[in-house]
Amino acid sequence: MTRETVGKKGGLYCYLITPFDAQGDVDHAVLERYTDEIITGGADGVTCIASTTEGVYLTQAERFAVVKTVCDTTAGRVPVNVAIGDISTRQVMNWAENAQKAGASTMMLEMQTHLPDIRFTDVVQHYHDIAVNVDVPIRLYNIPRTTRYDMTPQMIAELAAVDGIDSVKDATGDPHRVRDIRALTGDRFALYTGLHFVARESYRYGAIGWEAAYHPLFTKDMVALHRLLRAGDPAGAALYKKMEPLFVFFRHYGVPQCIRAMSAWSDLNLGQPRPPLPRLTDLQSEQLKSLMKQSGYI
């Protein structure tokens, strides 16, 4: 796949939760198995070390090792999208260079901020400087809840001038953003939704991809739901209704915490969150377990 076509294909990308062992270290054996099961289950791509995959909680050495494990395990079967976001352009280039060497198919870049002085001209320069120094496409990622920087549809339309960006992932929680980006940019970008609870509306407004964390316990339904929603098949509404209580639970109690908790009821345990990210309380865990049973996932 060329620079111009990787992200443009759309599809279902699984955010691979980074597995931790009992000592809190990255468990690469579990990561290999997790990656393989997600791919054989029908995912169109995998994503690592991004927001929900807890990349910010990893050391540099751990990040590099996770990217290598995922790329090696994937072995070209599906695209690997590697998150490269950080505060400075210099640090982003460090992540980007490593991802490219490891075999990343695409790179996902959000606009992280620390001080409130970043101007939009600085944002454009930031994306331009990364794009001209890498050979794979960039997926622009808008997740203002964590970055404290909102890439509005108008801003994204202006960033269309950066040739290296081929897709946009919206994680604002507002599906109308997909509609507005499509209206302002036409077919310039492939649009991905990033949150479970707005997936149905996002596809209706023009998304052709979905990038979200999930566990092999419910891979079959995630793959089926993506395909039905992308095709505009009415059967997608019934499947979404079945899964919606789970998606709402994710929204309120945290996706990585929920995926990790449910993994304990499987033979692919992803471990506990790395502190200070909290684990689910006993009550929340029991509520999640009840939802999983009701849906037939455990």
Residue pair 105/166 in contact by the 8 Å Cβ criterion: no
From CA 10, how far away is CA 137, in angstroms rounded?
Answer: 13
What does the pLDDT look like over 103-142, one tens digit per residue? Answer: 999 999 999 999 889 999 999 999 999 999 999 999 999 9
From CA 41, how far away is CA 7, in angstroms rounded?
Answer: 20
Tell me which H or E stretch contains 212.
Answer: strand 209-213
What does the pLDDT look like over 169-183, one tens digit per residue? Answer: 999 999 999 999 999
pTM of the model: 0.96
Give CA angle at 230 (224, 75), nearest 5°: 65
Distance of CA 270 to the CA centre of its chain: 17
From CA 225, how far away is CA 218, in angstroms rounded?
Answer: 11
Query: Which of the residues in the chain have pLDDT under 50?
Result: 1-3
Q: DSSP assignment, residue 140?
A: E
DSSP SS3 for 245 = helix
Residue pair 46/9 in contact by the 8 Å Cβ criterion: no
| Alpha-carbon separation of residue 261 from 14, 182, 237, 250 (angstroms) | 17, 36, 27, 11
From CA 256, how far away is CA 27, in angstroms rounded?
Answer: 16
From CA 71, how far away is CA 147, in angstroms rounded?
Answer: 26
Residue pair 180/172 in contact by the 8 Å Cβ criterion: no
pLDDT of residue 5: 67
pLDDT of residue 7: 81
* Paired tokens of 58: 């990893």
* Paired tokens of 202: 């996002």
Active site residues: 141, 169
pLDDT of residue 2: 47
